[in-house]
Every structure is written in structure tokens, then in C-alpha cells.
Amino acid sequence: MRLMSATPRILLGIPVFNEAKYVTDVLGEVRRHAGDVLVIDDGSTDDTPLLLARQPVEVIRHATNRGYGRSMQDMLRWANFDGYDWLITMDCDLQHEPAAIPEFSAAIAQDDCDVVSGTRYLRVNCDDDAPPADRQAINASMTQLLNDRLGLQITDAFCGFKAYRIAACRDLELDVDGYDFPMQFWVQAAHHGLRISELPIRLIYNDPTRCFGGPLSDATNRRAVYEATLERSMARCGMAESLARV
């Protein structure tokens, strides 16, 4: 295992799919706070590829839409292959503020955890937006289920604004390609004993009408998919039986 240098190398990764409306402005702000930026264009069919070509960032383009989880896997593999110590991930729809990137860098510098997970539910007395009711309900119930089943103490299971210590993630077996990727990630993180801390971030919903697309647009089906992935991931790690005996 390569020892981390005094100043860790950090890659900032952003998955995008049809984000022509936001990508130029977001990358302009991101580049004020991050030196090395990787964008995964997940098969965009709008002007996103054209706009990305004008940006001084690395781009991996999927020929077809492969899913959020696949983009996450690609970013982790790229960071590992290119010798980065940490990967910070964020979305490209203005729900994550680039101005918060230095807060993640500061948490990384403390060198006392393996995952710094953004949480939208620890801020108080602030002007945050109200999330769509179905998303908040599913997030809360699935986060509690993860905590109960895995012995975690997280407050926001689905926030994509995170920092990952690459050395700690090398042994994770991640192959879920869709939006249910966090279910597999948290199981793998618990199974491998990753140290987790949370960092409060703003809860922003610029467009409450945005949806997941396909079957996951239905809240009942979305929760069923999340639960199935959780159970399948735990069984794969041999955790279901051991936890059932607790």
C-alpha cells in the first residue's frame, strides 16, 4: 500500500448526464477550488459533450447511459490507477456547492477517517430548501435501515457529495450500476471496517421536478430496489446470517 504524502493528491470527480444547463457554470466554480477534475459523461444526448470539450478537465464518456453507480466505479478506478490519495465526488445540478470543497479538503487533512460523507440533515437554523416529500421519507427510512442492519451512525445515506480514501476503497467489490449504488457501498464500507465521518452541507433543490427516470421514478418501486440491493449486498458479504444472530 502506497503511503499517503504529507499533502494528499485529491481528484474531484463529477458524474454528468444531460447537464448542458449547468455544466459550464459548475465546472467554472469547481476549478476555483480543485486542481484535478474528472468528469464522467454518462452517455449525454444534449450539448453536454460539446460543452465539456471546451473545459480543461479530464473526461470519460460512456457511449450509452450506464448509470450513476457505474460512473462512481469509473471515478474510483481512475483515481486509483492515477495514484490519487482521495476522490471527492459531487453532482452537477447545483445541488452541491463547489464552495464546500475546501471543507472536504480540510476533513481529509485531519487524516482520521476513510470516508467523509456529506449530510444534508445536520444543519440547523439555516435557509435550506425543503426536499420532495417522497425522497426525504425514503432517505430517512433507508438510512435508519442501514444503521440498524450495519451498525452505522450516518444521517444521510444518499448524499453524493463525498470524499473517499482510495487506499481504503481498493478492496471494495462494487458493481451496482444504478442509483441503488449507495446501498452496496455502505454494506462494503461496513464489511471492510471503513472509518466514516459526516460533514454538514446545505440541502439544495433547485428543481424539485427532476426525477430518477424509468422504474425508479415510482417511490414504492424505488424503495423496493434499494431494499433488494441492500439484502443482496449483505448476503454477498456473508453478513445477513451473522447479523440475524445478533
Higher pLDDT, 132 or 166: 166
Averaged pLDDT, 215-222: 82
Place of cell 420532495: 132
CA dihedral 41, 202, 227, 239 (to 10 degrees): 100
| Whether residue 65 has pLDDT greater than 90 | yes
Cα(75)–Cα(198) distance, integer angstroms: 21
- Name the residue ranges covered by the structural domains of the chain: 10-244
Confidence at residue 2, expressed as pLDDT on a 0 to 100 scale: 45
Backbone phi, psi, residue 144, to 5°:
-65, -40
Decide the pairing of beta strands 58-61 and 36-41: parallel
DSSP annotation of 41 reads: E
CATH number of 10-244: 3.90.550.10
Residue-averaged pLDDT of the chain: 90
With a pLDDT cut of 70, the percent of the chain lying above it is 87
Close Cβ partners of 140 (under 8 Å, ≥ 6 residues apart): none
**pTM (global) more than 0.95:** no
Confidence of residue 111 (pLDDT cuts 50, 70, 90): very high
Averaged pLDDT, 203-221: 70
pLDDT tens readout for residues 11-50:
999 999 999 999 999 999 999 999 999 999 999 999 999 9
